[in-house]
Structure 1
Amino acid sequence: MNLEDVRTHVSENRSGMLADLAFAVVWVTVVTALFDVLQGPQWAYYLCMLGGVVAHWGFFTSLAMARAQQD
């Protein structure tokens, strides 16, 4: 894989990559703030972080399905 391939991939997927990054930043910020306030157990914190993967997949899958129904 050369640099031109990477540039092409990034330019084709820019909006999706930005949405993924924004989702991750918001999820981590909310979970961290929540556990800082509530002083929850460490295992629950990690479980919520892992839940972010499921939430991300579910959110963007349902978004894609809704867009497909509109077309």
Structure 2
Amino acid sequence: MLEATIGRPYALHVHGNSDTTGAIRGVETIVTGLKWKRLREPLSIVGEVDAAVREACWELGATVVASLMPA
């Protein structure tokens, strides 16, 4: 069943109060096993969410949407 998802694209956004390293490592371990394709580097946000963070999240979402469009 999981073989049907091989090669699927993914993007990752993680928000933490002081560190996101472990969360990112955990997700990347899982998706490596699933053989998913990372669209771009994980978006790691530590601390407060501001306009720059919201813009980065928007760009991440736009990247995901663009990857799903037919060529």
Q: Which interval holds the TM-score relative to the shorter structure?
A: 0.3 to 0.5
Higher relative contact order (CA 8 A, sep 6+): 2
Provide the TM-score with structure 1 as the length reference: 0.38
Higher strand share: 2
Provide the TM-score with structure 2 as the length reference: 0.38
Larger Rg: 1
